[in-house]
Amino acid sequence: MGKPQPIEYADASPEVKAVFDDIKTSRNVPDVNNFWKYLANDPTTLKRTWESVKEVMAPGALDPLVKELIYVAVSVTNNCGYCIASHTASAEKAGMTEAQFGELMAVVGMANETNRLVNGYRVPIDPAYEK
């Protein structure tokens, strides 16, 4: 198989095209981004992932901007370059300001720091948090 290659709409099977069409309609974009073109190598994973993302990222008890901020926080913690770039763009589209991005980074950095201080000092959970 070699290095994974993107599958463009014109070369896609009908089942892949159906997912691409749904993404384009749902997001009102002319083409899907690379993530979906690569996932299209496995139509089952493409379909399941898209349906899951659509369900998880829909407006609900948390609004779309907050969900995108959470997505960026995870991606920055895991150092997924593509995910940071794409979800920062989605967050902006959902209304993220530069000041909000700055605070997001500050919280993510601080949480990653204090997570390790907790580990190293072997801090036991306060009984109040166990209720």
Q: Identify which of residues 13 and 52 has a Cβ nearer to its own copies in the complex.
A: 52
For residue 71, how many other CB atoms are within 10 A of its CB? 20
> What minimum distance in Å lies between the beta carbon of 14 and its own copies?
18
Q: Which is nearer to its own copies, 25 or 55 (CB)?
A: 55
3-state secondary structure of 115: helix
Phi/psi of residue 78, nearest 5 degrees: -85, -5
Give 18 or 85: the residue with its C-beta nearer to its own copies: 85
Distance, in Å, from the CA atom of 15 to the CA atom of 128, rounded to the nearest integer, reads 51
Least separation in angstroms between residue 96's CB and its own copies is: 8
Encoded tokens for 40: 């299209």
> Whole-number minimum distance, CB 128 to its own copies, in Å?
7
The nearer residue to its own copies, 17 or 41, going by C-beta atoms, is 41
Which DSSP state fits 28? T
Specify the residue for token string 């070699």.
Answer: 2
Q: Name the minimum Å distance from CB 89 to its own copies.
A: 5
Q: In whole angstroms, give the CA distance from residue 32 to residue 23.
A: 7
